[in-house]
Amino acid sequence: MPIIGICADWDETRLRSNLPNDYVRALLAAGAVPLILPIGGDETTWQKMADAVDGLLFPGGVDMDPQLYGEPKHPLTNIPNRLRDDQELFIMRYALENGKPLLAVCRGFQLLNCLDGGTLHQDIENMVDTSIDHAQFSLRDADIHEVALTPGTLLAKVMGENRVMVNSRHHQAVKKIGQGLVASAHAPDGMVEALEFADGRPCLAVQWHPESLFEKSAAQMRLFDWLTQAAEGNA
């Protein structure tokens, strides 16, 4: 059974690392061993964290620091946790350089986009002309809108569908796509909903939350199956 490291969120009120249990349950259902990676340490620690696992999952959470993609902070952008940003960006780059498969969700999707030159719309409602309410945070597992998967992409191959229904719990979105990445799914309003590498590296990133949908959607479950199988070297 492969070990999948899940980068933890941070609870500022209780001063502790935490993680929604849906990520753990989804990986267990896929046959993986989840290992939560707490926030803290330095680059030496973070490298050892990445070396200890077979694959990585980067979950949702607070907005990343806009300074990391060269923009001033918008008033509606969350107060960033720069230690979490620095830790996850280091682990993400290290994993990609060393061929470890990774799945990035929501915030993780946005981090991947900004790893090399990508940027974000810091608040969809104020910056994007769309009729879709993407920031439906209270509807954990609701089908909010459809996404169209790009034929021939790794995502389309893994999910086995041309279109899927997704939840939508984000107020930021991709503006400029990062270097080496291609969009592999779009919302009806044209918003980028998934990313992967053009060179075929074992990496999938989605803006929605499949960990809240895996029990009712076989297509969403296949994302966690893929990560588990890729970590075993069988994808």
Rounded distance between C-alpha atoms, residue 195 and residue 203, angstroms: 9
Annotation says 146 is catalytic: no
Specify whether 209 is catalytic. yes
Q: How far apart are CA 14 and CA 207, in angstroms?
A: 27
Query: For residue 116, what are the contacts with CB-CB under 8 A and spacing of at least 6?
Result: 178, 179, 180
Amino acid at 126: N
Q: Which one of the listed residues 106, 145, 193, 203 is annotated catalytic?
A: 106
Backbone φ, ψ for residue 200 (5° rounding): 85, 15
- 88, 193, 196, 211: the catalytic one is 211
**CA dihedral sign of residues 165, 215, 31, 38:** positive
Q: Concatenated DSSP letters for 178-218? A: PTTEEEEEE-TTS-EEEEEETT--SEEEESS-GGGTTTT-H
Q: Rounded CA gap, 134 and 166, in Å?
A: 10
Question: Which residues neighbour 200 within 8 Å (Cβ) at sequence distance 6 or greater?
Answer: 154
Annotation says 215 is catalytic: no
- Residues assigned a catalytic role: 106, 209, 211
